[in-house]
Chains A and B, each alone.
Chain A
Amino acid sequence: MVEPMIKVRGLHKYFGPLHVIKGVDLDVMPSEVVVIIGPSGAGKSTFLRCLNFLEEPSAGTVEIDGVEIKAREPSREHRRHIQEIRQKAGMVFQQFNLFPHMTALGNIIEAPITVKKMPKEEAIAKAEELLEWVGLSDKRDEYPSRLSGGQQQRVAIARALAMEPKIMLFDEPTSALDPELIGEVVEVMERLAGEGMTMVVVTHEIHFARDVADRVILMDEGVWAETGPPDEFFTNPKEERTKQFLAHIL
């Protein structure tokens, strides 16, 4: 029996009086690619951020690769677990959030050196490998401001991968990109999925969801509206809400 890589139980999140996530469960198996879609304000990003505790969940448990954290139990242990989970879960942001004062290479080697205490030479060698993998070897010494949006997002992916995460969280990675730059980022994500990475992706890229995802989830008003394999989800949705949403975006 293979244990799920991600196990979420009864997750709730409040922002003040606002109930954003209303008790959701999720199991993601190793190498599975889960795509969460949904209207804006549905709580997709918040859910994703709760997975690595950039947002502290209000209730429920999150377990990633065997590390389990219950919400709202601040303790030394709790904090250590958060650090552990963060190292296991790489995250890619909508706005890239590259460090502007560092070169592409500098961005990638920063965390391995400071967090993992990896020797600098090793970190550089690995970073160069990653840069080649995302197709940006020639941009090694460029500062982010001189890179296009697509190139920046690819560096951001390489930066996350440098920590050798077990899972990758993508928070609308293509939403801030010009249409012609989306392709290069999606291509990298597809290759990553092909190499067997466990991924949770919040996106509006229906093509990616249809072609790459193992499972598609529609999130609406803080709960899963519908879950299913992409073929079924897109061609034969069960729920009325899903039909409405798909009619909107397709």
Chain B
Amino acid sequence: MRILCLLVAITAGLSLLYGVQYYAGGPLRLAVTSEVYDLALSPDGSLVAAGARDGKIHLWDITHDWMVHTLTGHTGPVSGVAFASSASTLFSAGYDGSIRLWDVSAALDASPTGSQAKRVIIASDRPLNDLALAANGSNLATIGEDGIVRVWDTKTGQVIQSIGPNESTKLAVALSPDGTLVAAGDGENIQIWDARTGEPFQRLEGYWEDEETKKDWMGHKKEVTALAFSPDGTYLASGSAEGTTLIWDVEKGKVAWKTRGHLATVSEVVFDASGKYLLSGGGDNMVRRWRVTGGKFAGIFKGHLGPVTSVAFGSDANTILSSGNDGSVRLWEAVNNQQLHLVWTKLGLMPIWGTVFAAWMLGSGLLGLLLTWGLWRVRTWGYLGALVLYIIGPLVTTVLPLLETTVYPITWGTRLSIGWPLVVSLIGYIVLVAYLRQDEVAITYQAPDATSLAEQLMAARRAQDVRHSLFIAATWVSIFILLFSALRRFGLDVAFMRKWLPFIMGGAGITMYVSAMAILLATVLALVGALGRLSKNPLANGISGFYVSLIRGTPLLVQIFIWFLALPQLGITLEAKTAGILALGVNYGAYMTEIFRAGIQAIGIGQYEAAQALGMSASQTFRRIVMPQAFRIVIPPIGNEFIAMMKDSALVSIITVQELTFRAQKIGRQNFRNLETFLIAAAFYWILTIVFQFFQGKLETYMARGERR
């Protein structure tokens, strides 16, 4: 006991230390990778530059097996990178408010880490959010938290024009290819200026396509987060926080084409060299490709584990580059949407896990101290705390980072540095379980008092029962958390689920309606069928025997098709829902016939004789004496049939009944998000059966009232 307390105390102490350290910003920053904020490909296509959250610029040499170099200098995250047309010069902008100019060829010749910038321009004391370089390399534009759009001469490094400040101009900036126009987001609108004079040139605002009916809003509804000019400068593409991408005609100031695909913020848009295609990266972890003319969808690239932050076309038309918050840069094949190459930035732990993890560690530390005290003082406290701390905790905290390590290339050293508190927790858990498994509660038999001994024994028994159910409950909860977290980790899109939940759940009503009606029909059929099977009348017996044999001998799916697809050939056309109800009801009726029959036959002859001796007629005997007893016998198997029916009602989705499964399938296919939609459907069926089982249990207890002892 003392050893156990000591162990728990050690665990708690370590956890607490760990949690405090995180909040104090200690050495173990939890990020496996450093998020990449911007990506650029050199004009000759040989180098990929990525600006990262840790202030480094990673340079990969594509032609030399993705050899990596880092450029250090920025004191905050790097928000923008761009190659000058010479390919040996790289511009970068960061949250430290500086613009830096790097000599890439010198950097490549030097040691692979830590090349210094050639030139540093302090642009602002506030972070710079985006950087744009004109295609001809003449000038450069930045936009920052201070709301000022600055246009720079790349040769002299002087500010040509400073526009603003404007509170709602912060996130995106673009320069026309010839460097004459500069565009920046202004809330949900876009403002274009002449880059040299600073005079307003054009304002792109949303409008109704049809003013009268207020249909087709042409514009953004949330702030603009990405901008890009087409190579010939006639179009401007814009992406916004609500997920739409628009292609504007710059001269006319109107929307030329509208696209919709991303489910979250569009973080970057970019035209290819020919101006025929557009790429967009989004907060929904996807990269999408569009045909500019018409704004038609032309491809989707899935693989990022976090929001996509930047996209770029490769040196030839067949490849695409993307970077994301997951710290990866990916190279894709444009034609078949396959990932060709993947590189990661620096190792660490993901910041998102960091928060959860640290919160847990802090929490479990506090809880653990409480637990130590509790174990010492009152046992119950100890059990309760131990369960929370040592089942759910380690499962979440050990398994998840381990999963993480299968996704990211990670060394054992890092693994150990991440995992040590978890290992300690796990050991504690094992010790605790071993302790809890000692079931016998010591009873000190002091006085020769029988009642007191009985009370002690009963109390011990109760405590054991409570412990047992607590264990089971904790196991369930931890499985849930584990499953959910694991799915989440592999890209489960909760926002998407929330978005489509109402629509899919709209099918739940139809599912319940179909099930309920089919159950009703099946019950009636089963009752009649059972009477027929038990009847001495050869006609009734034959008919019900035929019915049961036919229906049980053919697949339900085939029956559904016959009701819906084959009957019209005989001139009977049924509505899909009706056909579904009939198919399910008739099918389950046959199975339930046998159950009813067995239930009726289970009633002893003595019951019939007693009723007859009292002068009751056959029908009175059946209704008053046999049925109520048979009903009680058949409730458990009938309940099972009902549950099976609820689940089998999913089958009618194939005949276009718009129930739960149908809707889940539809939305899943449309958005390539089958996991999310079917999880919703599965969850609903599950909840429904649990609820039903609960009521079935209640009914069973009620019907068995004569059996209570």
- Given A99-B625, A100-B629, A101-B629, A86 contacting B612 (CB threshold 8 A): yes
Check A159–B614 contact: CB distance below 8 A.
Answer: yes
**Additional 12 contacts, C-beta under 8 A, given A101-B628, A111-B611:** A54-B612, A87-B615, A93-B606, A93-B613, A101-B632, A101-B705, A111-B615, A114-B620, A143-B705, A145-B706, A145-B708, A163-B614
Which B555-575 residues have a C-beta within 8 angstroms of A?
Answer: none
B707 on the A face (CB < 8 A) = yes
Please list the residues of chain B having a beta carbon within 8 angstroms of any beta carbon in chain A.
Answer: 606-607, 609-617, 620, 624-625, 628-629, 632, 703, 705-709
Q: Which residues of B contact A160 (CB under 8 A)?
A: 613-614
Nearest chain B CB to A4 CB, angstrom units: 21
Q: Which residues of A contact B706 (CB under 8 A)?
A: 100-102, 143-145
Nearest chain B CB to A120 CB, angstrom units: 14
Check B708–A146 contact: CB distance below 8 A.
Answer: yes
Residue among B632, B706, B707 with most chain A CB within 10 A: B706
Check A146–B709 contact: CB distance below 8 A.
Answer: yes
What would be 28 A-B contacts, judged by CB atoms less than 8 Å apart? A52-B613, A54-B613, A83-B617, A86-B615, A91-B613, A93-B609, A93-B613, A97-B607, A99-B607, A101-B628, A101-B629, A101-B703, A101-B705, A110-B614, A110-B624, A111-B616, A114-B616, A114-B620, A114-B624, A115-B614, A115-B617, A115-B620, A143-B705, A145-B707, A145-B709, A146-B709, A163-B614, A163-B615
Q: Which residues of B contact A114 (CB under 8 A)?
A: 616, 620, 624
- Given A99-B625, A101-B706, A143-B705, A86 contacting B606 (CB threshold 8 A): no
* Assembled-state Cα–Cα distance A99/B630 (Å): 12
* Assembled-state Cα–Cα distance A143/B615 (Å): 22
Check A97–B614 contact: CB distance below 8 A.
Answer: no
Residue in contact with A143 in the complex, picked from B613, B703, B708, CB distance below 8 Å: B708
Nearest chain A CB to B466 CB, angstrom units: 30
Which A62-94 residues have a C-beta within 8 angstroms of B?
Answer: 83, 86-87, 89-91, 93
Nearest chain A CB to B700 CB, angstrom units: 13
- Would you give the 0/1 interface string for A109-121, flagging 1 where the beta carbon is closer than 8 Å to chain B? 0110011000000
* Assembled-state Cα–Cα distance A110/B607 (Å): 13
Q: Which residues of A contact B625 (CB under 8 A)?
A: 99, 110
Residue in contact with A93 in the complex, picked from B610, B615, B620, B709, CB distance below 8 Å: B610
Nearest chain B CB to A198 CB, angstrom units: 16
Nearest chain A CB to B625 CB, angstrom units: 6
Q: Which residues of B contact A137 (CB under 8 A)?
A: none
A58 on the B face (CB < 8 A) = no
Q: Which residues of A contact B620 (CB under 8 A)?
A: 114-115
* Assembled-state Cα–Cα distance A159/B615 (Å): 12
Check B707–A100 contact: CB distance below 8 A.
Answer: yes
* Assembled-state Cα–Cα distance A91/B624 (Å): 19
* Assembled-state Cα–Cα distance A93/B612 (Å): 12
* Assembled-state Cα–Cα distance A145/B610 (Å): 17
* Assembled-state Cα–Cα distance A145/B632 (Å): 15
Check B609–A97 contact: CB distance below 8 A.
Answer: yes
A31 on the B face (CB < 8 A) = no
Check B606–A95 contact: CB distance below 8 A.
Answer: yes
Nearest chain A CB to B699 CB, angstrom units: 14
Nearest chain A CB to B604 CB, angstrom units: 8
Nearest chain A CB to B101 CB, angstrom units: 92
Chain A residue at minimal CB-CB distance from B623: A114
Check B616–A115 contact: CB distance below 8 A.
Answer: yes
Q: Which residues of B contact A115 (CB under 8 A)?
A: 614-617, 620
Nearest chain A CB to B612 CB, angstrom units: 6
Nearest chain A CB to B145 CB, angstrom units: 78
* Assembled-state Cα–Cα distance A86/B624 (Å): 18
Chain B residue at minimal CB-CB distance from A156: B610
Chain A residue at minimal CB-CB distance from B609: A54
Q: A-B pairs with the 7 shortest C-beta distances?
A: A97-B610, A111-B614, A91-B613, A97-B606, A87-B615, A143-B706, A86-B615
Which A140-168 residues have a C-beta within 8 angstroms of B?
Answer: 143-146, 156, 159-160, 163
Q: Which residues of B contact A143 (CB under 8 A)?
A: 705-708
Q: Which residues of B contact A99 (CB under 8 A)?
A: 607, 610-611, 625, 629
Residue among A52, A99, A110, A146 with most chain B CB within 10 A: A99
* Assembled-state Cα–Cα distance A95/B613 (Å): 14
Nearest chain B CB to A37 CB, angstrom units: 22
Nearest chain B CB to A117 CB, angstrom units: 11
Q: Which residues of A contact B708 (CB under 8 A)?
A: 143, 145-146
* Assembled-state Cα–Cα distance A97/B608 (Å): 9
Q: Which residues of B contact A163 (CB under 8 A)?
A: 614-615
Nearest chain A CB to B66 CB, angstrom units: 78
Chain B residue at minimal CB-CB distance from A144: B706
* Assembled-state Cα–Cα distance A86/B609 (Å): 11
Q: Which residues of A contact B614 (CB under 8 A)?
A: 86, 90, 110-111, 115, 159-160, 163
Nearest chain B CB to A87 CB, angstrom units: 4
Chain A residue at minimal CB-CB distance from B625: A99
Check B709–A90 contact: CB distance below 8 A.
Answer: no
Q: Which residues of B contact A144 (CB under 8 A)?
A: 706
Nearest chain B CB to A169 CB, angstrom units: 8
Q: Which residues of B contact A97 (CB under 8 A)?
A: 606-607, 609-610
Chain B residue at minimal CB-CB distance from A99: B625
- Would you give the 0/1 interface string for A157-189, flagging 1 where the beta carbon is closer than 8 Å to chain B? 001100100000000000000000000000000
* Assembled-state Cα–Cα distance A156/B607 (Å): 12
Nearest chain A CB to B702 CB, angstrom units: 11
Q: Which residues of A contact B616 (CB under 8 A)?
A: 110-111, 114-115
Chain B residue at minimal CB-CB distance from A54: B609
* Assembled-state Cα–Cα distance A114/B611 (Å): 11
* Assembled-state Cα–Cα distance A218/B606 (Å): 26
* Assembled-state Cα–Cα distance A90/B612 (Å): 10
* Assembled-state Cα–Cα distance A146/B624 (Å): 21
* Assembled-state Cα–Cα distance A245/B615 (Å): 36
* Assembled-state Cα–Cα distance A61/B587 (Å): 51
- Given A100-B707, A115-B620, A90 contacting B632 (CB threshold 8 A): no
* Assembled-state Cα–Cα distance A68/B613 (Å): 17
* Assembled-state Cα–Cα distance A111/B611 (Å): 8
